[in-house]
Amino acid sequence: MLIALPLLVIPVILYNIVVLSGLGGGGLAAADEALRQSMFSIPMASGASWNVGIGDLILFLSLILLFFELLKSTSSQKVAIVNHALSMILFVICLVEFLLVRGFATSTFFLIVTMVMLDVLAGFIVTIISARKDLDFGAGA
């Protein structure tokens, strides 16, 4: 049943932890600062320095997990329906946080919300297309 859990819940939880722990009284500025604060720096061949922050790492993790979610959406198991429903619930929660909760109106969280929305859309589209193919195959026999 653990396979039914959307993987994108992980970066959403991480973002919630970072922002809600950084909101101690600084509001949106503290949340932005917590996400942009450089964790480490990578020297580039051009001589520039690439600063990687917590928000960047959360987005990177989100992209990797989105890839696996898209792979999971091609499954035609019964648990896929539960996964689609949970992904939709996660999308609604993310959208409410983005629109109504201070500290979540950032580009980083907007991109996470967009990835969750793509997961929902991909799941439903793949399910509809595979159901249509099953229906067409059954009618032709």
Report pTM. Answer: 0.83
Q: What is the pLDDT of residues 6-21, one digit of tens each?
A: 999 999 999 998 888 8
- Give the per-residue pLDDT at 139: 55
At 134, the pLDDT band (50, 70, 90 cuts) reads low
Check whether 114 has a pLDDT greater than 70.
yes
pLDDT, position 77: 73
| Separation CA 138–CA 44 (nearest Å) | 57
For the chain, percent of residues with pLDDT exceeding 90: 40
Cα separation of 14 and 44, whole Å? 28
Residue 46, phi then psi, degrees to nearest 5: -75, -10
72-97 average pLDDT score: 88
Question: What secondary structure letter does DSSP report for 47?
Answer: S
Strand partners, 36: none
pLDDT at residue number 62: 96
